[in-house]
A = this chain, B = another copy of it.
Amino acid sequence: MSTSTPTSHAFDQAIALQPQDNNLFAGATSDTYQNMVGPFGGVTAATLLNAVLQHPERIGEPISLTINFAGPVQPGAFAIEATPIRTNRSTQHWLLLQRQAGEVVTSGTAFFATRRETWSEQQLSMPAAVAADSLPLVSRTERSWFENYDFRYVSGLFNPASPSEHDTGDTDTVLWARDNPARPLDFASLTAMGDVFAPRIFHRRQRFTPAGTVSMTHYYHADAAQLIEAGDRHVLGHARAARMHNNYSDQIAHVWSDDGTLLLTSTQVAYYKE
């Protein structure tokens, strides 16, 4: 196997599943995508999506995905149950459960569909941003999963080593991201990239606090052909919060390919402690 084939990439190893009977898939956590508590949530989400992508009864492409992080995923083996709970002519609804030792650690739902060509329009333009290659690579070592991405911050970097001393009141981050090493974009990697933004509370308060995503929803605007067009180049992400109130903050994010095509609308709600 050549080192350039997708399946040899650390990301593909992290989301790999072995099909079992009865809608079940077996997997194991990857050391290379660990976060503070358990794996990087974006990889967990991509792994649950991957169960549907590999399911023999699957029709169409992902339109929406909701992932609920119910409890920490412990290092080691897990089982994913992906059940098609309603199949219509060109659409399909899925129920997703990830279990360890019989306990649900992640739940979710997904909606897949076959698209037909219709009147189409993109309303939300990509923010102005200088080219990724003109920005410094941000190398961070405090969490292992960071090393699997090439991040170039346009604005809104929270660096714990040099917190901003002034209160901007801003929750916006704009960054270029791609897998590191580069890997052609697909539905699984786009799913993970929708979760690469630090909790907005870190950026807003310029410090760490116990925090973590509890639920995340992706809407896939891109079809497979548009993902192929995005290639293995950086995508641009923009994330911001609308309100932080008593332990919970929302986040709205969008991800564009470098030619300005909106690939993903993503929202999430995150717990924060203080």
Contacts and interface: CB of A to CB of B under 8 A. Distances in A.
Given A247-B116, A252-B252, A252-B265, A109 B107 contact: yes
Contact of A250 (B107, B113, B247, B265): B265
A130 interface: no
A59 to B, nearest CB: 14
A62 to B, nearest CB: 11
Given A107-B85, A109-B66, A109-B215, A250 B221 contact: yes
A2 interface: no
Interface residues of A, number: 62
Interface of A: 63-64, 66, 68, 70-71, 85-86, 88, 91, 93, 95, 97, 103-105, 107-109, 111, 113, 115-124, 169, 171, 204-205, 214-215, 217, 219, 221-223, 240-248, 250, 252, 254, 262, 265, 267, 269, 271-274
A250 B123 CA distance: 10
A254 B242 contact: yes
Given A86-B71, A242-B123, A243-B122, A93 B109 contact: no
A157 to B, nearest CB: 18
Contact of A262 (B118, B123, B242): B242
Contacts of A273: 118
18 contacts: A64-B215, A64-B269, A66-B215, A68-B111, A70-B85, A71-B86, A86-B105, A113-B247, A116-B246, A117-B246, A122-B242, A124-B243, A219-B248, A221-B248, A221-B250, A223-B246, A242-B265, A267-B267
